[in-house]
Amino acid sequence: MKLVILDRRSLGNDVDVSVFNKFGEVISYDLTKENETLERVKDADIVITNKVLITKEHMDNSKMKLICITATGTNNVDLVYAKEKNIPVKNVAGYSSSSVAQVAFSMIFHFVTKLNYYKNYVDKGNWQKSELFTHIDAPFFELDGKRVGVIGLGDIGRNFAKKASAFGCEVVYYSTSGKNSNSEYKRVELDELLKTSDIISIHCPLNEDTKDLLNYENMKTIKDGAILLNLGRGGIINEADLAKIIDEKEIYCGIDVVSVEPIKESNPLLKVKNKEQLLLTPHIGWASIEARTKLISLVAKNIEDFIS
């Protein structure tokens, strides 16, 4: 059995992937460019990929028997053709829920508590020069009683909602599929969620129904001073519209995902003037050490299940 890992570096060098050795010969590539994929998968029985595309051409010109995705999203594999070819495609879900929720709250606290401002105040030597024991020129507020709107109440959305409730927030949610009827939290329509929430956090998949779900017209209705987070998928928020909104009104945004990753120089979010209102991170939400370790073990379980 021959296993090929196409983008090992995306998993981080601090996690161990030796568990795959028990299944056979493992060939690992840090990165794989589009024009290198075919040559690298042609003799593989099992292909392990995070974001490298696996297309009809790759399946037709290889002996692959199983495709393992080291992520939840499956849009990098031609699923329809894989089904036609009887090649199972196995992803991993639920491994990163705590990690994503924790990064989301890190973003919230970045904006709410103004710790960057207060750290800089002390680092610049201002506190020791002060005549007053305290310095509170950057007002901050508590989360207790704030309304948190969750867009997409799947596994990650529920984890985030649970943590928001622990901070005393009122949680409401919008079901992008229209099928979720969670009795723990109030379900509302998107317009109401955007207009009434103090914090909005996106945790839904990207599909035909959610592409550009947030656009200029509906983001105009978001409350001044509100915090908008996207740790779901790039493309759910129209990025040109978001950049325009950030420069027009007081809205604070934590964005961990963009439509094309790594981010393009031309992405409008890199050109916003009100930079203090935007926190951009390079798709880190999924990637705590614990989450990546769990991810590897679940991929190994998928391979074990396939072999048995």
Distance CA 110, CA 115 (A): 7
Distance CA 102, CA 99 (A): 5
Q: Give me the active site residues, please.
A: 233, 261, 283
Q: What is the side-by-side order of every strand in the sheet holding 252-255?
A: 186-187, 170-174, 147-151, 199-202, 227-230, 252-255, 278-280
How many Cα atoms are found within 13 Å in the side-chain-facing hemisphere of 224? 3
